[in-house]
Structure 1
């Protein structure tokens, strides 16, 4: 017979499965510090020995990391998504920028469609709350804040799509973007017309999501990323033209 005796699960296994689930769902993020041992044992209603056993297992498997005097942190599991040599290639070849944007357009269009259909009311509240922060930052004209919130807005849509694989894949892509591997985001926010257009595009995305319009959300995301692609292409052309304009000016000044 295929049946086996039912055994009671060890408390440490329950702790492991809960922390694994929080990491898998993206709720616990790389680099995030866990509560103290005392606080965590109280929150999870387990003894400290059971908690220590669970944390040791998770550290051994590379999901958590202990730092002397600082505590236990979620490991930077995203760091292994791309080899350093490949990251260097991304940073030094323009084609990677446009392939990246094309990839994002496909993935985020799908994510927005899923978020409009499958996201909970709370998911949509999170997206809307981030957009409200974007509007406030727009008034302050702080390119760094705007760029940071832009990334948070897009990631909140990925999270609301409730696809675990897409979440971790896109989060690793955004880490590279935040580090300036693909392009410098703050440049996109310097021109007032570009800043206004970007805010309007994010407003259209948010509006479609709040209305639970899957097709509209996907279309709005795709239109936004097409605009970004066009703006970056124009920027690259302008930068190349400026190099030659400087050479022409220097040559003229010497005549």
Structure 2
């Protein structure tokens, strides 16, 4: 259903505010292409000059970008936390554990809220994500399963209908997809782990769909605790392997007969 602008004293300001609301609530996402000016003005029931002024306000705020051909899109927002400190943090192994502790708290809260607030559209999105996880799991496609995993978690945050939680998660989700803190595909490369993760994702999904906030929160928190433990085990195993390899060739600086 099309939404129209609630006109106030300044139609351009009202137009800009309306688009800002769409961004905040997650209806407009980072990188989304906007409709051509004429069609957008019709959808919002404003004149093209008014729309142009409103879009200029958003461009000045860095919320909208316009390319050389006049094509407008939503700027890259909350897809990552761009700061030299993040790169420094991601290089430290201990930060992964802290990151997953934070995710555990946020995931539990989001799942609990989703269980009580999700509407029919949210529930269908969750069902679609779960179906993609099942299909990727059956196909043995670790990359597709990891992507569907990230989408399921994001869908839970959307279903929580908490704007601050959603925007924080979008930032963390962008970092997760880029492997800033850990490589998700390392998890899905291990068959026994993939089976456990499938069961855990289904428990989160079932708790939300059953409108059981306690079960949904518990499943989400258990999932993050397990993820943290397994990633720690993988990191320890990789460290031991590196030491063994160095012993074979003397750290690559010794002469071996």
Q: Secondary structure at the match of 1:78?
A: coil
Q: Does the 8 A contact of 1:147 with 1:185 survive in 2?
A: yes
TM-score between both structures, scaled by the size of structure 2: 0.90
Moved more, 64-73 or 223-232: 64-73
d(CA) in 2 for partners of 1:8, 1:132? 44
Q: Does the 8 A contact of 2:80 with 2:171 survive in 1?
A: no
Q: Which residue of 2 aligns with 1:9?
A: 9
User: For this pair of structures, how many residues does the alignment match?
Assistant: 247
Q: Write the mapping of 1:187-202 to structure 2, written as runs, cut at 5 A.
A: 187-202=186-201
- Listed as ranges, the gaps of 5+ residues in structure 1 are 1-6
Q: Does the 8 A contact of 2:66 with 2:73 survive in 1?
A: yes
Q: Which residue of 2 aligns with 1:130?
A: 129
User: For 1:207-229, what per-residue CA distance to the aligned partner results, in whole angstroms no more than 9, with x for missing partners?
Assistant: 11100000000000011111111
TM-score between both structures, scaled by the size of structure 1: 0.91
Shift of 1:63: 1.2
Q: Does the 8 A contact of 1:127 with 1:156 survive in 2?
A: yes
Task: Evaluate the alpha carbon distance shift between residue 24 and residue 45 of structure 1 in structure 2; reply closer, same or farther with a 3 A threshold.
Answer: same
d(CA) in 2 for partners of 1:15, 1:70? 19
Shift of 1:11: 3.0
What value does the CA root-mean-square deviation take over the aligned residues?
A: 1.9
Q: Which residue of 1 aligns with 2:63?
A: 63
Q: Which residue of 1 aligns with 2:253?
A: none
Task: Evaluate the alpha carbon distance shift between residue 80 and residue 217 of structure 1 in structure 2; reply closer, same or farther with a 3 A threshold.
Answer: closer
Shift of 1:82: 4.0
- Listed as ranges, the gaps of 5+ residues in structure 2 are 1-6, 251-255
d(CA) in 2 for partners of 1:116, 1:80? 27
Q: Secondary structure at the match of 2:78?
A: helix
Q: Write the mapping of 1:82-231 to structure 2, written as runs, cut at 5 A.
A: 82-83=82-83, 85-231=84-230
Q: Does the 8 A contact of 1:33 with 1:74 survive in 2?
A: yes
d(CA) in 2 for partners of 1:188, 1:81? 24
d(CA) in 1 for partners of 2:129, 2:79? 26
Q: Which residue of 2 aligns with 1:50?
A: 50
Q: Which residue of 2 aligns with 1:236?
A: 235
d(CA) in 2 for partners of 1:77, 1:227? 30
Shift of 1:125: 1.8
Q: Secondary structure at the match of 2:179?
A: coil
Q: Which residue of 1 aligns with 2:33?
A: 33
d(CA) in 2 for partners of 1:211, 1:69? 48
